[in-house]
Structure 1
Amino acid sequence: MSTNGAGERDLRVLKSKRDASRYQILVAIADRQPAVSQQEIADTVGITAQAVSEYVQELTDEGYVETQGRGRYTVTKEGVDWLISRTDDLRDFARFVAEEIIGHVETETAIATDDIAANESVTLSMIDGTLCATPNGSGSVTAIAITDANEGQDVGVTDFEGLHEYEIGAVTILVVPEIRNGGSRSVERETTTTLASDHDYVAVAGTEALATAQSAGITPDLRFGTASAVPEASARGISVLLLVTENRLSNHTERLRENGIGYELVDERG
């Protein structure tokens, strides 16, 4: 049968409940042979033990399974060949779906920098950490809009061409002592304000860190979930100053390392 571009493939195992059950039963026997409980197979496949018995008898009659006494079965060479052929068909079909179907319908969402019409070519860029679409697809990264959008609205885009190239945002970590070690009082206001002026965002983790930002007249951009948010912001090209209380430091540095993001440490602990 034709699968609209996937080639001539026998996909009855997908279309027929009977063939799907036969396939799963053969796999279950091959996985457990020679000691195989029909109830185990039934639980695995999701059918009754009586149905398993009937299928096993049918597979035995066709030469796909050999019975070696009650509860002892093995898959024959013919049965293995049948499994391999159906598995190859499924693998090829899955590859076709992944590459030819899903690959072509993959979409992203961007913010329109101007009015955009559906099917219009657009240029994609990362602005302040957000994917943006601009009419006239003449940039290094382009896509096709799948929806109409006015300036500032979200717009669906697909059929991407090119590769985003933008720098990872710098991360500086200002370590704030815990309250028993002096807390925010141990951090010079000028240190905080100077560092903040060199970064796009300010994030705080811990009460002492929040107090340090507030004492410098800074309203944090990020206060919660910073262990995840800071690496994500940096990966989108945003530079971040992270004020973190010392007892939360290791969690944040570990997450940055896991994401391959470097950082500069400014330690205000005495």
Structure 2
Amino acid sequence: MTSVVDTKFRVLKKVAKRQPRVRQVDIAKELDLTPQAVSEHIKLLKKDNLIERRDKGFIVTKKGIQWLINESKNLREFSEDIEQNIVKQTPYSPIAIAEEDIEKGDKVGIFMKEGLLRAEKGEKSAYGYAETNAEEGEEIEITKISGIVDLEPGKILAIEVPSPKKGGSEKLKSIKIEFNEDKIAATDESGYIAAKKTKREPDIIFGAKEAIIDAALKGLNVLAFGTKNAIEELVKETKEMEIEIERHKS
């Protein structure tokens, strides 16, 4: 995650805690930022519809709360603080997939499975209460959330494809890959061809870098094919995250 997104996250988090009485000078002091920097981030948050003006201050929109929850997966050290200080104080009900028939008012445990948020009756490390009825396999709204979703990040195996001058994807035809992947990604055209030559069909081909990281953060193992530059960017992005990545050079 870039420092720009990190600062945007921290500013929005402060707005959520202080809403609607938000003083930019106080946020600047607490985050060790200049008032000008906070002002620019406030403008950006308004432009992205993550906050809206209310009386003489600001409040976080539903879209803003969803953004905070998504970004907290990348900023895991903030997840507990978000759950306690923001989600509980905001009338937001996330959507999950019902693992069984659930009735409104049932206490449900929340967990990740195959990269998607699921819910079943009972209590887990994260739990809440059904806001709607749902049959098995249908979407369900959950409210009054407590705890943190127990999630172990997936692994990434990044296969570097040589340049055409050095043999290109042809060199990967006989490569033996031992990896239990959930998703296959191609970061570029060379990666796509290389995956096909190893008799694999890429699941991810657009916005690959971000999608690979998101999938891994949701507990999925990803096999990624790409050129040297693309793989280097991927390794750089995952360096500060709790994601295990192995790089294979041909």
Superposition TM-score tier, normalisation by shorter sequence: 0.5 to 0.7
Partner of 2:122: 137
1:251 aligns with 2:233: yes
CA-CA distance at 1:237 after TM superposition: 0.7
Pair member with larger Rg: 1
Paired residues in the alignment total 175
Normalised to the residue count of structure 1, the TM-score between the two structures is 0.58
1:178 aligns with 2:160: no
Alpha-carbon displacement from aligned partner over 1:206-247 (angstroms, at most 9, x marks no partner): 222111111121111111111101111111111111111123
The answer (yes or no) to whether the contact 1:137–1:143 under 8 Å persists in 2 is: no
Normalised to the residue count of structure 2, the TM-score between the two structures is 0.62
The answer (yes or no) to whether the contact 2:130–2:141 under 8 Å persists in 1 is: yes
| Structure (1/2) with the larger helix percentage | 1
CA-CA distance at 1:113 after TM superposition: 1.0
1:157 aligns with 2:142: yes
Which aligned pairs between 1:37-56 and structure 2 lie closer than 5 A?
none
Matching residue's letter, 2:213 = P
The answer (yes or no) to whether the contact 2:172–2:198 under 8 Å persists in 1 is: no
Q: Distance in 1 between matches of 2:160 and 2:233?
A: 13
1:118 aligns with 2:104: yes
CA-CA distance at 1:262 after TM superposition: 3.3
The answer (yes or no) to whether the contact 1:170–1:263 under 8 Å persists in 2 is: yes
SS of the residue corresponding to residue 239 of structure 2 reads helix
Partner of 2:217: 235
CA-CA distance at 1:161 after TM superposition: 2.0
Instruction: Find the partner of 2:174 among 170, 185, 189.
Output: 189
SS of the residue corresponding to residue 176 of structure 2 reads helix
* Residue ranges of structure 2 left out of the alignment (5+ in a row): 1-19, 22-55, 60-64, 66-84
Instruction: Find the partner of 1:217 among 199, 208, 226.
Output: 199
Partner of 1:204: 186
Q: Distance in 1 between matches of 2:140 and 2:247?
A: 39
CA-CA distance at 1:171 after TM superposition: 1.0
Q: Distance in 1 between matches of 2:210 and 2:240?
A: 11
Alpha-carbon displacement from aligned partner over 1:64-91 (angstroms, at most 9, x marks no partner): xxxxxxxxxxxxxxxxxxxxxxxxxx78
SS of the residue corresponding to residue 220 of structure 1 reads coil
What percentage of residue pairs aligned between the two structures are identical?
25
The answer (yes or no) to whether the contact 1:122–1:145 under 8 Å persists in 2 is: yes
Alpha-carbon displacement from aligned partner over 1:76-127 (angstroms, at most 9, x marks no partner): xxxxxxxxxxxxxx78x97xxx969971522211011112112211111110
Deviates more, 1:124-133 or 1:244-253: 244-253
Output the aligned Cα RMSD: 2.9
The answer (yes or no) to whether the contact 1:144–1:160 under 8 Å persists in 2 is: yes
The answer (yes or no) to whether the contact 2:88–2:145 under 8 Å persists in 1 is: no
Q: Distance in 2 between matches of 1:174 and 1:244?
A: 6
CA-CA distance at 1:260 after TM superposition: 4.5
CA shift in 2, pair 1:142/1:183, >3 Å: same
CA shift in 2, pair 1:101/1:237, >3 Å: closer
SS of the residue corresponding to residue 191 of structure 2 reads helix
**Higher RCO, 1 or 2 (CA under 8 Å, sep at least 6)?**
2
